[in-house]
Amino acid sequence: MHVLYPGSFDPPTLGHVHVMERASRLFKKVTVFVAMNPEKASWCTVEEREEMLRRIAARWRNVAVSSGQGLLAEHAAALKADAILKGLRGPADLEMEHQMASVNHLLCGMETLFMVAHEGYAHTSSSLVRQVLRLGGEIRPFVPEEVLPLIAGKR
Ligand code: PNS
């Protein structure tokens, strides 16, 4: 099975990496997809996020990286993904994810699979990383090594 794992990844966190790692073992192919979230202004450019994800994805032979604007369901169908994969940090994530899964199914018949965060990853988010960095804190507990050179100069 080929799954499309979409997100803002602004920046990628250890929580995202853990989903990628588990998905790489479960599925034949995983495409990590940088998508636009119309509700969020972006911090890193799409190119920066793709570069960070490419460096991370180099850990596994069956994980690729792509990006695109517009409807995710259409990209998933065009890339011949069998399903969309989303991570769930907790029940709060499910409300919006349930809606998105329904819309994506209505749009393209695309199914969404959910992978729950393991203990230790449920509290990590990209917005938390941005906030810690802005306030001068240490972000190494939350992000993979590969992202550090690309976000070092950012606040
Ligand atoms: O990491 P995020 O911000 O939770 O990811 C959300 C994202 C980018 C996957 C979502 O906003 C999305 O699918 N955007 C693409 C536009 C789209 O298809 N919107 C309708 C989805 S119901």
Q: Out of 16, 29, 75, 130, pick the active-site residue.
A: 16
Q: Tens digit of pLDDT for each residue in 15-68?
A: 999 999 999 999 999 999 999 888 888 999 999 999 999 999 999 999 999 999
Q: What is the CATH number of the domain that holds 17?
A: 3.40.50.620
Report pTM: 0.96
* Host domain of residue 140: 2-151
**20 within 8 A of 34, measured Cβ to Cβ:** no
Per-residue confidence (pLDDT) for residue 124, from 0 to 100: 94
Give the binding-site residues of ligand 1, using a 6 Å CB cut-off.
6-8, 35-37, 40, 71-72, 100, 103-104
Which residues touch 100 (CB under 8 Å, ≥6 apart)?
86, 112
Structural tokens at position 155: 């606040």
Structural tokens at position 110: 């695309």
Number of H helices, E strands in the chain: 6, 5
% helix / strand / coil in the chain, to the nearest 5? 45, 20, 35
Which residues touch 126 (CB under 8 Å, ≥6 apart)?
8, 9, 10, 11, 12, 13
Domain count, the chain: 1
* Alpha carbon nearest to ligand 1 atom 22, residue: 100
